[in-house]
Structures are given as C-alpha cells and as structure tokens.
C-alpha cells in the first residue's frame, strides 16, 4: 500500500495552492470540507492511488493554501478546483467532495460540466437545511469576535472547547469530535479565521444551510452520481442523501455505519464503495444542447 504523499504547491493567479498528488490512471479529485485540509483523505489516498491519479487540494483559505481577501463562495472554490486541474494538465476527472466539498463539486458540475466524468458527494452540504447547531452558531453575527478567544492558545484550547460543546449537543467522542477540534484549532491566526467566516457565511446562516443544490440536480443527469453518507452522521443528517438520491434518476446511495468523517471512520469500506462505483460506470460526456434544453424546461 502506498503512503500518504506530502503536500506540494503551485501558484495560480499569484496565490499559493497546496495539494497532494499520487498514482497514475484515471483522475480522481478529492475535495475536503470546511476547516479541514487534504489530511481528510489520509487513510484512503494511498490505496486509491494504486489505481488512479489522485489529487487532493487544500481549498483556498485552508491548510497550506493562501488566504487572500476575496471570494469564498461555492462558485469561487469550484473555479479554483478547475484552475488547479487545468494547471496540472488534466482535462477531466471524477470528483469526490466531503461536506462543504460535496457542495463545491456539485457546483463545479454545473459550472464546468465538460470536466466531470462522475460525481460523488460524501455527507454533503447543499442538500437540505439541517446542519449541526455548532455551525449555525458560528454563523451568528459577532461570532468572529469570539473565535480569537477560543483559538488563541492553539489546538489544545480549541479542541477542549469544541469537544465539550459537541458533547453537550449529542455528538459522542470519536472521529467527528476529533476532526472538528482539529479544524477549529487551525483558526489561530486572523487570516484563517477570516477565510473560515467568509466560507461559512456563504453557505450557512443561523437558521441552517442557506444554499441548496436540490433545484439543479437534474441539469447534469448524464453524470454518474453516487451519494455516500455515514448512517451515524450527526453533523449533516443522512436523510439529505436519501432525498437527493430520489431526485436523480439512476443515481446510487451508500450509507455505511459511520459518522460524518466516513473516509476516516471506515477507510477500507470507503475505498471499496468508490472503486466499485468507478469501475461499474462509464465516464460522462455531457451534451451541451441537452443541458440547454433542460435549462429551458426548468426541470419540468
């Protein structure tokens, strides 16, 4: 089994983009969630790279990538993924997105359908309103004034605070708590906190998720699609995946017994599910005229 590759970087539009790359074969792009990094894929990237060319970027404002002032919307993140893919010399890929990354890869499919061979949202945002209260609270006005006090002493302080809060709100200790603590612990400098707040408020408000892909799922129906959700996910409920799968003809749904961070909880099962999906489907070729007609019909 191959090891988890170290990060490398490239400059795009004058800004640093950090990413990991390994393997040869069909291109597979793995997109992490909010406050996370390409480390989300540390347990699965090695096995996947035995059969695929796997690319795992750090999104703008996350990990080793730059944190410039600017646009942190789903569309901007999708454009960033497109730009990295083109820079690395790849024309098409299967896109896998976890949590916020799921919303990004769905957005990418609408913006750049010619790039997308397959689509795999994993415990994805953008498919329903419900989201864990800790993320709704972070979107409250003035929350940016509290973050420096939570994260000022680094990962340990942030981890203790988040661990305690999630425990009171019903999330048991485990991978989900550890990864949320790791994520909040990464917000110890002003630039990281600002990037987090811009990204969060682009998709979540105090009432829940404010961006939905449900009304556009029909547009790229040629693209083979599999929704993957941890049945024990307490961050974004698994019924979002069931509802979305029902909206997309011929799509698949897999719900292993795991929490929100499925690639870390059940890496072998995740690799098995993903590999079977890729090997049993043909890469899409989106017909621009068909998409144009679907847009005109409004999905009726």
CB 281 within 8 A of CB 224: yes
CB 98 within 8 A of CB 69: no
Tokens encoding 242 = 């069931």
260 as an active site residue: the answer is yes
d(CA 180, CA 34): 9
CB 132 within 8 A of CB 235: yes
Query: Which of these is catalytic: 49, 65, 99, 251?
Result: 99
Query: Which of these is catalytic: 58, 176, 233, 265?
Result: 233
Q: Which residues contact 42 (CB under 8 A, 6 or more apart)?
A: 4, 264
- Residue 123 DSSP label: S
CB 151 within 8 A of CB 184: yes
* Orientation angle between helical segments 190-203 and 143-151, nearest 10 degrees: 140
233 as an active site residue: the answer is yes
> Which own/partner pairs from 238-242 qualify as long-range (CB within 8 Å, at least 24 positions apart)?
238/123, 239/128, 240/124, 240/127, 240/128, 240/130, 241/121, 241/123, 241/124, 241/127
Query: Which of these is catalytic: 124, 176, 260, 265?
Result: 260
d(CA 296, CA 36): 38
Supply the residues annotated as catalytic: 99, 233, 260
């Amino acid at each position: 089994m191959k090891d988890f590759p170290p990060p490398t970087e490239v400059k795009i539009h004058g800004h640093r983009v950090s990413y990991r790359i390994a393997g040869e074969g069909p291109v597979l792009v793995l997109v992490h969630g909010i406050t996370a990094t390409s480390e989300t894929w540390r347990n699965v990237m090695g096995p996947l790279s035995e059969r695929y060319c796997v690319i795992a970027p750090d999104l703008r404002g996350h990990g080793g990538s730059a944190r410039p002032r600017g646009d942190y919307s789903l569309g901007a993140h999708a454009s960033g993924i497109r730009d990295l893919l083109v820079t690395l010399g790849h024309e098409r890929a299967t896109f896998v997105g976890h949590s916020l990354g799921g919303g990004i890869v769905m957005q990418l499919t609408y913006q750049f359908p010619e790039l997308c061979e397959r689509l795999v949202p994993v415990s994805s945002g953008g498919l329903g309103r419900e989201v864990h209260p800790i993320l709704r609270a972070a979107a409250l006005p003035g929350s940016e004034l509290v973050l420096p006090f939570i994260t000022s002493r680094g990962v340990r302080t942030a981890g203790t605070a988040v661990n305690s809060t999630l425990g009171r709100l019903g999330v048991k200790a485990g991978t989900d708590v550890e990864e949320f603590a790791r994520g909040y612990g990464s917000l110890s400098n002003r630039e990281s906190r600002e990037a987090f707040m811009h990204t969060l408020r682009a998709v979540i408000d105090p009432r829940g998720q404010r961006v939905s892909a449900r009304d556009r799922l029909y547009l790229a129906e040629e693209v083979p699609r599999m929704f993957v959700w941890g049945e024990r996910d307490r961050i974004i409920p698994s019924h979002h995946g069931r509802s979305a799968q029902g909206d997309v003809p011929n799509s698949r749904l897999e719900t292993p017994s795991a929490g929100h961070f499925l690639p870390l909880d059940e890496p072998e099962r995740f690799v098995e599910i993903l590999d079977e999906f890729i090997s049993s489907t043909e890469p899409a070729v989106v017909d621009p005229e068909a998409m144009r007609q679907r847009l005109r019909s409004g999905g009726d």
